[in-house]
Amino acid sequence: MDITNAVKIIKEAKHLTALTGAGVSAESGIPTFRGKNGLWNKFRPEELATPEAFARNPELVWKWYAWRMSIIFNATPSRAHLALAKLEELGLLKALITQNVDDLHERAGSKKVIHLHGSLRIAKCSSCSHVEYLKEPPHTLPKCPECSSLLRPGVVWFGESLPLDILRKAVEELSKSDAVMVVGTSAVVQPAASLPLIVKENGGKIVEINPERTPLTAMADVSIRGKAGDVLGKILKAL
Ligand code: NAD
Ligand code: ZN
């Protein structure tokens, strides 16, 4: 029934957008921040992904990122990533806004991807404007070739603001949207978590896909409890 309702919303939408989180990459074997992280279980992401943690112990922070990069660079897109790319190819999905710092949406074939929190493929200088692409996770502390300062991961850390141009692009897409699919996000990290409300305030619909309830569930028009790959697969079949 929920699938039928979701399909109806997707088909009727003139401008459908998706907002994704770590849950869509969970099925590619990439741990979510609330998952079991083995070795790294004793550290909380909120204590590693911050400018203060980097200033205090850049080696520890880079080790954690190198570990995450090695998983992400070797992962392959999941059924969820592929289904979202297919929805774009079919002309149904107009834009995809992601909190994920992996590149699995692009590798699945999605073209219009807005990365709210940056990318693990990028390292940037902590002092100057130097930016580089990472083919491999760095094994030692990476330094800037221009000014010798430490390079840092090209992501937005807790306590940092989102780049304004990126946030503006996301808001622009959502302001045009009459429906948004919110997939695999715990909807607790701001401002990303509030973005779907732009659509709601404009009279549009929210379709949520998540195995668990989130703070957004009460606001959703359709909320489907399930894994992103399973649910999106069913939606694609029913279209
Ligand atoms: P989160 O870790 O806070 O929450 C993950 C959500 O995914 C949970 O609500 C969980 O119920 C749901 N989930 C788990 N398995 C799922 C599945 N198979 N299908 C659908 N949903 C599933 O992640 P978040 O909301 O994206 O936000 C936290 C921050 O985590 C973001 O800033 C993001 O940059 C960062 N992050 C990114 C990655 C990545 O790039 N792959 C991985 C971990 C964390
Ligand atoms: Zn530099």
- What's the mean pLDDT when you consider all of the chain? 95
Tokens of 67: 């570990």
For the segment 186-206, the average pLDDT, to the nearest whole number, is 93
Q: What value does the mean pLDDT take over residues 171-189?
A: 95
Ligand nearest to the CA of 151: 2
Look up the pTM and report it: 0.95
Atom of ligand 1 at shortest range from CA of 227: 19
Please tell me the distance from the alpha carbon of residue 197 to that of residue 203, in angstroms, as a whole number: 10
pLDDT digits (tens, 9 = 90+) for 19-71: 999 999 999 999 888 656 666 777 888 889 999 999 999 999 999 999 999 99
Q: What is the percentage of the chain residues whose pLDDT exceeds 70?
A: 97
For residues 88 and 173, give the distance between their C-alpha atoms in angstroms, rounded to a whole number: 14
For 159, other C-beta atoms within 10 Å of its C-beta total: 10
Q: Is 81 considered catalytic here?
A: no
The residue whose CB lies within 8 Å of the most ligand 1 atoms, and thus the one to mutate among 32, 82, 99, is: 32
Give residue ranges with CB within 6 A of ligand 1.
21-23, 25-27, 30, 32-34, 99-102, 117, 184-186, 189, 209-212, 214, 227-228
The ligand with the least distance to the CA atom of 186 is: 1
